[in-house]
Amino acid sequence: MDVMKPFFEQQPLRFGCTGCGRCCIAGNDYFVYLGSEDAGRIRGYLGLSVDWFRRRYLGKTADGDPVLAYHADGRCVFLQNDNSCRIYPVRPVQCRTYPFWPEVTNSKTAWQRESRRCEGINRGPGIPVTTIRRILNACHVNSG
Ligand code: SF4
Ligand code: SF4
């Protein structure tokens, strides 16, 4: 094993989303953070004013960062009863890139730990390294 390579290049990471919806449930310091362009895309898709969007769909972390609101049981405000996403075409970058986040793909321990939340991890086909790199880059641009 080449220890100089990032974890996701050392072995194929398998992933196949089952649509279980667990990654859309907040709590225990897990939030859906909004990147610089996420809110505008969602507002445009839903045809909402800035004020209405903020009042109805936004929350804040203890540090004041904007996050998507969620119900008392932790379900994202956009998660529908059938576990589909009401804003799927314009869902935040954090959602589109999951589970290929830097902090999840950087070590086997982190990847295995995340598999306790996401049942799609370690199922399905191996994801090409080029695809994972592209997704990681999208995460980086979003948080930059
Ligand atoms: S925006 Fe959609 S994909 Fe993202 S957490 Fe909410 S329901 Fe899930
Ligand atoms: S937790 Fe994983 S398997 Fe479930 S909906 Fe989210 S990405 Fe898909």
Q: 24-77: per-residue pLDDT in tens?
A: 998 777 899 998 799 999 999 999 999 999 999 999 988 999 999 999 999 999
The residue to mutate among 76, 80, 90, 97, having the most atoms of ligand 1 within 8 angstroms of its beta carbon, is: 76
The pLDDT value recorded for residue 56 is 96
Query: For residue 143, what pLDDT band results from cuts at 50, 70 and 90?
Result: low
CA of residue 49 to ligand 2 center, whole Å = 30
Query: For residue 20, what pLDDT band results from cuts at 50, 70 and 90?
Result: very high
The pLDDT value recorded for residue 5 is 84
Query: Is residue 98 lining ligand 2, measured as CB closer than 6 Å?
Result: yes
The pLDDT value recorded for residue 139 is 87
The pLDDT value recorded for residue 96 is 96
The pLDDT value recorded for residue 1 is 53
91-133 pLDDT, tens digit each: 999 999 999 999 999 999 999 999 999 999 999 999 999 999 9
Domain ranges (residues) in the chain: 12-143
Residue nearest to atom 7 of ligand 1 (CA): 79
The pLDDT value recorded for residue 142 is 66
The pLDDT value recorded for residue 29 is 79
> Is the whole model's pTM more than 0.85, yes or no?
yes
Query: Is residue 31 lining ligand 1, measured as CB closer than 6 Å?
Result: no
Query: Is residue 25 lining ligand 2, measured as CB closer than 6 Å?
Result: no
Residue nearest to atom 1 of ligand 2 (CA): 118
CA distance 139 to 101: 7
Residue 136 exposure: Cα atoms within 13 Å on the Cβ side? 16
Query: Is residue 32 lining ligand 1, measured as CB closer than 6 Å?
Result: yes
CA of residue 11 to ligand 1 center, whole Å = 29
Residue 10 burial (CB count, 10 A): 13
Strands (E) located in the chain = 13-15, 58-60, 66-68, 121-127
Looking at the CA of 74, name the nearest ligand.
Answer: 1
Give, for 16, the enclosing helix (H) or strand (E): none
